[in-house]
């Protein structure tokens, strides 16, 4: 999706450690055609991961999963989040206060009249969720994720 305003958001994205304010447009290490994405994902997964949709709150079994392990990207299997960083935000979405190194990219999302930081897998560009600044210490961040974008692998 073309977002001309993303250029203006670059300094903000940089503050989150982003490599590019328009990162979701690629290029990415893992690329697939739209037909390939549709073939490998369910409609619900495709809507979230490739169209930046949001799953219904409380719909993901991963929201209440606190087993030890690592959460991988459903699109390319890259390790993204560790169970040590997961917490119950009470929002109904799997929430983390930190992310594994070199796993995600961010961009400013000014849709719906709100200023949110979108985050996606830095290897395949699949949308994961949004980052807010109301998370717990030590980061103060809340990575609010869609469970359908993730695959949990127990330790």
- Residues of this chain that interact with Zn ion (CB under 5 A) are 73, 75-76, 78, 121, 123-124, 126
To the nearest whole angstrom, how small is the minimum distance from the Cβ of residue 115 to Zn ion? Answer: 25
Q: In the complex, what is the shortest distance from the CB of residue 120 to Zn ion, in angstroms, rounded to a whole number?
A: 8
d(CA 115, CA 32): 29
Residue 73 or 150 having the CB closest to Zn ion? 73
Catalytic residues, by residue number, are 144
* Closest of 146, 128, 147, 151 to residue 61, by C-alpha: 147
The smaller minimum CB distance to Zn ion, of residues 136 and 151, is found at 151
**H or E element, residue 151:** strand 150-154
Tell me how far, at minimum, the Cβ of 121 lies from Zn ion, in Å: 3
CB-CB contact of 24 with 109 (8 Å)? no
Strands of the sheet containing 127-132, edge to edge, are: 86-87, 95-96, 142-145, 127-132, 116-121, 104-109
Output the smallest distance, CB 116 to Zn ion, in A.
20
Nearer to Zn ion, 20 or 110 (CB): 20
Q: Torsion angle, CA of 72/54/3/96, rounded to 10 degrees? A: -50
């Amino acid at each position: 999706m073309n977002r001309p305003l993303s250029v203006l958001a670059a300094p903000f994205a940089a503050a989150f450690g982003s490599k590019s304010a328009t990162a979701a447009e690629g290029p990415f290490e893992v690329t697939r055609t739209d037909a390939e994405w549709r073939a490998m994902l369910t409609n619900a997964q495709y809507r979230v991961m490739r169209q930046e949709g949001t799953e219904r709150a409380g719909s993901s079994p991963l929201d209440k999963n606190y087993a030890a392990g690592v959460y991988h990207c459903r699109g390319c299997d890259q390790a993204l989040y560790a169970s040590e960083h997961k917490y119950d935000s009470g929002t109904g979405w799997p929430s983390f206060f930190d992310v594994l190194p070199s796993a995600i990219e961010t961009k400013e999302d000014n849709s719906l009249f709100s200023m949110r930081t979108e985050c996606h897998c830095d290897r395949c560009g699949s949308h994961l969720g949004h980052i807010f600044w109301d998370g717990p210490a030590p980061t103060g961040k809340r990575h609010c994720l869609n469970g359908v974008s993730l695959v949990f692998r127990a330790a």
